Amino acid sequence: MSALASSPVRPDSATPDAGLVIRALDAPFGAEVIGLDLSRPLADEDFARIHRAHLDHHVLVFRDQRITPAQQVAFSRRFGPLQIHVQKKFQLAGHPEVLVVSNIKENGEPIGLGDAGHFWHSDLSYKDKPSLGSLLHAQELPAEGGDTLFANQHAAYDALPEALKTTIAPLRAEHSYLAKYEELRARSPWRPKLTQAQLDEVKPVVHPIVRTHPETGRKALFVSEHFTTRIVDLPEDESAAVLAELFALAVKPQLQYRHPWQPNDMVFWDNRSVQHLAAGTPDHLRRKLYRTTIEGDVPY
């Protein structure tokens, strides 16, 4: 059931915000939400508009949101249950649903996951129920760098040669949180050795290479350089060749939107429709954001 259909009309529903504007970005996809204050109760009519815009545009940018972590969690929960990241070390104190994404260190220790988004990926694709969407709220931004890139996976699929579409239609691929873990761990302080309990949380899963969006019915590529390890239906050499081709085709520049962060931005993207990548922040500049992640459906 969609989040729109499952959102009940409450007797104390807020009044719709007449100033709410959803404006397409000057980009291949994405829209900004203007005139909405998420620190106030959200009317069901406004929620319905946001939900529809999220499906239509894949990435929504909410400007100037001066909200608390609890308010971010509450808004995120309107779309579904929230997922807790395996890196519990970087949970926000008092809010286990919030993952701190930051390159900042205090007393020599990192306060957040500083290399999140180092490779193109869709959040939590390594889970049985990958993420529906993620919300990232800016807390502290660097004077330069720190952009986030998004790539439209519906458009990527649509642009594939017909022969390649036919080849991959029945194929399934393995996704693993550990795919690049040791490579990242070797060069950063943000990847501690995982406990057995954490390893049990992130056992590899198998998903279709082409997934159907459960709310719109559109097809999208569902592989990424970060988490996809192999095509289980092909020999190793063929698997590697097909994945290398798909990884390149999935993130071509014409499929991308690059988000330059502004103070108090909150960005909400559809992990069923896009991949994303962190463009990088200079080491000497501070960056901190809070992420919530909504549970999705089993891909099909």
Classify burial at 207, counting beta carbons within 10 Å of its beta carbon; exposed 0-12, middle 13-18, buried 19 or more.
buried
Q: CA torsion sign, 257 to 139 to 86 to 193?
A: positive
For every residue of 192-217, DSSP letters joined together read PPPPHHHHHHT--EEEESEEE-TTT-
Q: CA torsion sign, 186 to 190 to 195 to 198?
A: negative
The catalytic site residues sit at 121, 123, 276, 291
246 CB neighbour count, 10 Å cutoff = 25
Alpha helices, DSSP H only, in 31-190? 44-57, 69-77, 153-158, 162-168, 181-185
Rounded CA gap, 180 and 151, in Å? 20
Rounded CA gap, 36 and 18, in Å? 9
CA distances from 269 to 15, 133, 170, 171, 177 (A): 26, 5, 27, 26, 20
Rounded CA gap, 267 and 184, in Å? 25
> CB neighbours of 136 closer than 8 A, spacing ≥ 6?
101, 148, 266, 267, 289, 290, 291
Cβ pair 64, 264 in contact under 8 A: yes
Six token digits for residue 120: 């193109």
Torsion of CA 273, 275, 279, 285, to 10 degrees: 80
